[in-house]
Amino acid sequence: MAAEAAAAKAAEPKPEPVVEAEPVAKVEAPAPEKPPVAATPAAPAAPPSAPAPVAQAPVREPVRTAPPAGQRPQAPVRSSGPAGQSQRSGSPYGQQNRSGPQGARPGAPAGRPGQQGNRPAPAPGARQPRGAVLSDLSSKEMDARRRALELAKQREAEDRRLFQEEEARRIAEDERRRSEREESERRQAEEAARLEMEAAARKKAEEDAARRAQARPVGRAGARTPADVIPGPPPPADDLGLRPAGRTEFAGRARSKADEDERARRPGAKVAEAAKPSRGRGDADRRAGRVNLDRALSDEDARGRSLSSMRRRQEKFKRSQQNQQREKIAREVILPETITIQELANRMSERAVDVIKFLMAQGQMMKPGDVIDADLAELIASEFGHTVKRVAASDVEEGIFNVADNPENMVARPPVVTIMGHVDHGKTSLLDALRQTSVVSGEAGGITQHIGAYQVEQNGQKITFIDTPGHAAFTAMRARGAQATDIAILVVAADDSVMPQTIESISHAKAAGVPIIVAINKIDKPDADPQKVRTGLLQHEVFVESMGGEVLDVEVSAKKGTNLDKLLEAILLQSEVLELRADPERTAEGVVIEAKLDKGRGPVATVLVQSGTLKTGDIVVAGDQWGRVRALVDDKGKQLKTAGPSMPIEVLGMQGTPGAGDRFAVVENEAKAREIADYRQRLAREKAVAKSAGQRGSLEQMMSQLTDSGLKTFPLLIKGDVQGSIEAINTALEKLGTDEVQARIVHSGAGAITESDVQLAQTSNAAIIGFNVRANAQARTAADQAGIELRYYNVIYDLVDDVKQAMSGMLSPERRETFLGNAEILEVFHITKIGKVAGCRVTEGKVERGAGVRLIRDGVVIHEGTLKTLKRFKDEVAEVPGGQECGMAFQNYEDIRQGDVIECFRVEHVARSL
């Protein structure tokens, strides 16, 4: 092995001697080749005994240059020699073989030949000495270099772009500065020209003034010469007889000072020393500002108009000469129902004074701040030559309802079905059976007191159900359900037949013009008689199919679930006949079914979308409230993003609780929604004020009503869970009122009883009634302190009965008179210390002591009072039966005569009820 290594080493070619630095510098290399290395003095040779390490030698880094743009670096070419050694091509020194660590270093300074074999090998990972040929590159290194080259190109392109942008900004800044400089030079030139013109005009004026001063005759001694004219261009003739103001001595001294300053500023001028002011004043200076007789009588020193006043006068004269009649601009004036005179003048672009003059000419003395109606404003605008456009406050509501549908976007929609009927006929139980839920178990007393909306799916088709209460107090709820529906289901119990609320539901359905489907419920009961129901409906013009009519009827049992599928098929059949379609692409519009104030969610409105699609984030207006839709919740409690036509949905995000039955619509922005809500709130306030004013009237009317009729009011403050229940309670309590007593609703609203409600009840001396709500801790404490009664109810029957009983206690009791008997006076006796006593005989009935008596003379009642004493012989008795004689005396009355008749009666006060 040693012999082979020696033979291979001997076969290697010797390294070429390194040329000196100067000859290398003289060779002209092409541009892409490696640049020449600067000449460097050779390092001193180390002594042979101690060779110096490589790190101590002054090594110079090779100068590397990137290849020109568009060329890729030449990849190294590998070739294996006979001894397994590699060769490298592409070197700037040409192709040469490496001899391992013992080989000569290209580019190294020439040394002694004996030092080549004694040089130590460089350590692994150490920096390669200058001019060393790198080892073969791996694929990873080549990819890394390629990526570095691409990044360098990208940086170069980015630098070029930034340079171009900076250059464009610099050019724009230079252009701006150049234009500013030119503008400044132009202004300076104009200013210089103006100053030259003023100097020339001033010089000419001074020469004219000097010439006039020489030609002026000298007056008498002691008289003052008139002042010079103000220097400047002569004013144009204005044909008004005006002359410029004379130049005073002060102005002359100021002008002389200005001329001296101007001469001092000229280049090369000598600045004269300022004269020191003398303390004493001359006689002329002291008398300069005084007025004496000669000066007052002379016209030469009279004060004239200033130059500015003259210019204003000349401009005014020119305007008067050019006073053409301005063309009248006719404007379209928008007139609301009421407007102030100042606002009307502004809209007409006229002066308010002119409008006032016109009104004065018509005989009306008014001020600009007075409010006039639209008719008078229209008359004024017409007189001034303007056209008028009348608008009303209700115009803000135009365009939000009844938007036209696009026939191309019309699609089929689910039918809206309202379940109506008498109380306890099984309406909610039937709906629970259809929905497979239990709503009726959550209602107090087992009766429905809320209106609800749900959706049921049958054979892939959805049906929207609206459940209405059957109690008599919920008439408005049934009316709202009939108005918002497509089909009305009339539920009649087979064992109870037609009842009052059944008849009312028929009337609501006919008034709304919707078809009726009769559901005869409770057929599973032993005493059920469906034929009796059909016969009872004939009396109210409801003809079912089984009796030759067109109204569908289905016998069902909500408890057993009998024929529920037939009822749903009948609903779908009726909806196909109606061809219900809607446009889901238009803005949403619908009706508020119910509204409440939830403790955690705020105002919540249950709405039925009738047209369009309601989306989260829409701005809606419902009644006098508006809001942005924060969330949409269906009847199963799931949040949705959109709600299409015929879908009941709960809307969260309203500013307040809207009224049940109010229509809602989507508007484009908050400003329009707020404007509509403000208008409706103002309208509601005006109606409330008018209603209260009509009920109250003037103070004299109130007092006369109380005196004449003795009307008593029962103040109440009602808080409920939903708006529909509050509406039903208010209606029921209003019906309880009579001519003597009536309920006065101080305040009603949805939500819990709060401390402010207690304060209002304390102020108005009202009782607080909570329907399905409770008072919070603060309200309970305040009510206990103020002595306010809080009464809670969850069934409307109990509430109405208690209020009725309380109002009955306010009625004045009925006075009932019972006849007891008559007695005839036989003789009148006068007894000392007692007075007159009548000796009587009871002719009819009986006479009781303490009862009421009337003294009748010749058939006329003379006196009515009570008995003071009733005696038989000398004993006081309680009563005297008929046919016996007795003695009677009246309380505080003694005008009794023989032959008078005494009528005895008893008065009873009987409590009344409503």
Binding residues for GTP: 421-428, 467-471, 521-524
Helices (H), 350-459: 352-361, 374-383, 427-435
Three-state SS for 842?
strand
**DSSP string for residues in 207-237:** HHHHHHHHHSPP-STTPPPPPPBPPSSPPPP
Q: Which of 494, 629, 641, 648 is nearest to 558 (CA)?
A: 494
Distance of CA 709 to the CA centre of its chain: 49
Q: Which of 76, 54, 73 is nearest to 128 (CA)?
A: 54
Helix (H) or strand (E) holding 466: strand 461-467
The encoded tokens of residue 358 equal 């016109």
Which residues are known binding-site members? 421-428, 467-471, 521-524
Which stretches does DSSP call E strand in 811-874?
814-831, 835-845, 847-848, 852-857, 860-872
| Type of residue numbered 11 | A
For residue 349, which phi and psi values (nearest 5 degrees)? Answer: 60, 40
The encoded tokens of residue 423 equal 């109380």
Q: Which of 621, 630, 721 is nearest to 675 (CA)?
A: 621
For residue 610, which phi and psi values (nearest 5 degrees)? Answer: -95, -30
| Type of residue numbered 845 | G
| SS3 track for 246-309 | ECCHHHHHHHHHHHHHHHHHCCCCCCCCCCCCCCCCCHHHHCCCCCCHHHHHCCCCCCCECHHH
Q: Which of 251, 252, 248, 243 is nearest to 309 (CA)?
A: 243
Per-residue DSSP letter, 128? P
**DSSP string for residues in 505-556:** HHHHHHHHT--EEEEEE-TTSTT--HHHHHHHHHTTT--BGGGTSSBEEEE-
CB burial of residue 836 (10 Å; 0-12, 13-18, 19+):
middle
For residue 725, which phi and psi values (nearest 5 degrees)? Answer: -65, -40
Which stretches does DSSP call E strand in 72-231?
78-80, 86-88, 96-97
Q: In what order do the strands lie in the sheet with 487-493?
A: 452-458, 461-467, 416-421, 487-493, 516-521, 552-555
Q: Which of 820, 815, 899, 828 is nearest to 852 (CA)?
A: 820
CB burial of residue 367 (10 Å; 0-12, 13-18, 19+):
exposed
**DSSP string for residues in 694-755:** HHH--HHHHHHHHHHH--EEEEEEEEESBHHHHHHHHHHHHHT--SSEEEEEEEEEES-B-H
Separation CA 727–CA 748 (nearest Å): 9
Q: Would you say how long the chain is, in residues?
A: 914
Contacts 24+ apart (CB under 8 A), 145-151: 145/73, 149/66, 149/72, 149/73
Three-state SS for 831?
strand
Q: Are 823 and 847 in contact (CB under 8 A)?
A: yes
| Type of residue numbered 6 | A
What sign does the dihedral 20-22-26-31 (CA atoms) show? positive
Residue given tokens 């705020």 in the structure block: 602
Q: Are 802 and 809 in contact (CB under 8 A)?
A: no
C-alpha distances (whole Å) from 154 to each of 69, 159, 424 are: 12, 8, 84
